Homo-oligomer: A and B are copies of this chain.
């Protein structure tokens, strides 16, 4: 005030970054109460038509939009569903399986007007990430049932649907017939005369996990399916012929190369993911093997790209998009209290026979000879 001028608070405000207009600003400008402004937006029928439209005019002229966070607080709903993954999003998004899965999730969510919020371990902690997540419900994918966060989420009273984890009673879940699909895949190779099988599983995200192989997890179920078919035909699956790899093309290549150079000479490979199968395909070819003449490869998932590989991949089809859709629909049914009873959805799988599987080579030498 040294210049003899007095500053009104309004002027001072103008000097700074223009504050986001609040409901009170609109109310003052329009000469009504905050309530009226709120009504103008949410229940215009409680206002005289001309009042409502006048308020709205003032609102747009001020550039006012109700603050979404404040609105969430009072309405107790966020119109957002959380997608929880035990791995970093960066590795999730690189996986075509999740691409398809999220497609289904997005489809069902958008249809009901919900947005998607991805929750992944922040600085290593899923719990910390959950604390920041403003969601009406959560779809957790690939989270093992024993994971500590599960209980935390349930305790927080947030509706939860688990996808592809071991079965949990009184907990909505969505999964597929992993065992049946795997059995069909193994049966297929066995029917073609294969007896030397290599199984490539999916490496669990946390190497440090105590129970490396939960018998009830996805991998456990698939392994059980493979084994069941083999056992029925008297074929033995030795531990050495079961390896794991990251669920990627590279992972599959590395795994096959390692198995091959360790002396294994399978004529049939059962991969628990298409990405791995594609990697096996490539690695096998690099070894000079012909597919399917020298070696057969069967995948799992039936990704879009699997019909375009060379040769097209024989694989176990699972309805990935539908899985995502089902999970969200199930979730929303409990979020919106339409159906408080936890449901368990199990989707079908089926073997899709394409070009990467064929009759086993007559004699093992035939294969061995090829190797250089």
Contact = CB atoms under 8 A, between A and B. Distances in A.
A191 interface: no
A28 interface: no
A367 interface: no
A282 to B, nearest CB: 7
B68 A89 contact: no
B73 A69 contact: yes
A317 B291 CA distance: 30
A156 B110 CA distance: 23
A275 B117 CA distance: 27
A88 B110 contact: yes
A249 interface: yes
Interface string A301-333: 000110011100000000000000000000000
A148 to B, nearest CB: 14
A80 interface: yes
Nearest to A102: B93
A72 B308 contact: no
Interface string A104-145: 101101100101111110110000010111100000000000
B106 A68 contact: no
A48 interface: no
Interface in A25-69: 63, 65-66, 68-69
A286 to B, nearest CB: 12
Contacts of A113: 122-123
A1 interface: no
Interface in A73-89: 73, 78-80, 88-89
Contact of A132 (B68, B93, B96, B122): B68
Leading 7 A-B pairs by shortest Cβ distance: A89-B106, A310-B310, A90-B107, A93-B102, A116-B118, A93-B103, A90-B106
5 contacts: A66-B131, A68-B132, A94-B103, A249-B305, A308-B309
Interface of A: 17-18, 20, 63, 65-66, 68-70, 72-73, 78-80, 88-96, 99-100, 102-104, 106-107, 109-110, 113, 115-120, 122-123, 129, 131-134, 155-157, 249, 278, 282, 304-305, 308-310
